[in-house]
A = this chain, B = another copy of it.
């Protein structure tokens, strides 16, 4: 068989995605700077030389992890959410979907956002531009709500970052298998987020009926069961 190669000469196959997943978890647990290529190779049961067939170095690996994470944000949040016409339903959908991705992946990718400083400037700019596109989707939805008189008297930029802060903080405290499921926590956060910014937040269904109520409210297809960067 011929091994496919990418433009930088490294190998392109499913092992590559597995390396990203594992590396993201190790970086999260030990810190990006404290993790050497040797540590990664050991955890992946590979030699360092074997790992270099896939990635030219630790920075290239970080860049790919962030890129794959941003692909996921685009495919599982931004693209489906843009089809929701009502800005309130869109905002809700955005928060719920993002919160679920973040808990599902145990925050492995989200925790690497700060490490963009380790990337060479052009790579860092590409990642930051893609993050900005996502931020603008959140902020523009708030601007649209404001124009319709449906937003409380809040600053839309502060509001957008505050909602993102609630979501990005999630993996630091959420425990899988605890009292609340990923879906329940995503619902709770969306409830607090919407009430924080909307003039008339929607009434909440009684607790026992919430799951059904949520499914009716969401109005777009279920999040696919793909887990590119999950544990």
Contact = CB atoms under 8 A, between A and B. Distances in A.
Interface in A150-197: 152-155, 158-159, 161-162, 164-170, 172-173, 180, 185, 188-189, 191-193, 195-197
A204 B153 contact: yes
Interface residues of A, number: 40
A34 interface: yes
Interface SS majority for chain A: helix
A115 B196 CA distance: 31
B196 A193 contact: yes
Contacts of A155: 180, 188
A31 interface: yes
A117 interface: yes
B169 A185 contact: no
A138 B63 CA distance: 37
A162 B166 contact: yes
**Number of copies of this kind of chain in the complex:** 2
A32 B164 CA distance: 24
Q: Which of A114, A153, A168 has the most CB of B within 10 A?
A: A153
A158 B161 CA distance: 18
A33 interface: yes
A158 B195 contact: no
Contacts of A193: 162, 196
Contact of A195 (B152, B166, B167): B152
Given A29-B117, A162-B193, 20 more contacts: A31-B32, A31-B114, A33-B33, A33-B34, A34-B118, A152-B191, A152-B204, A153-B207, A154-B191, A155-B188, A158-B192, A159-B188, A161-B172, A161-B173, A165-B165, A165-B167, A165-B168, A165-B169, A169-B169, A192-B197
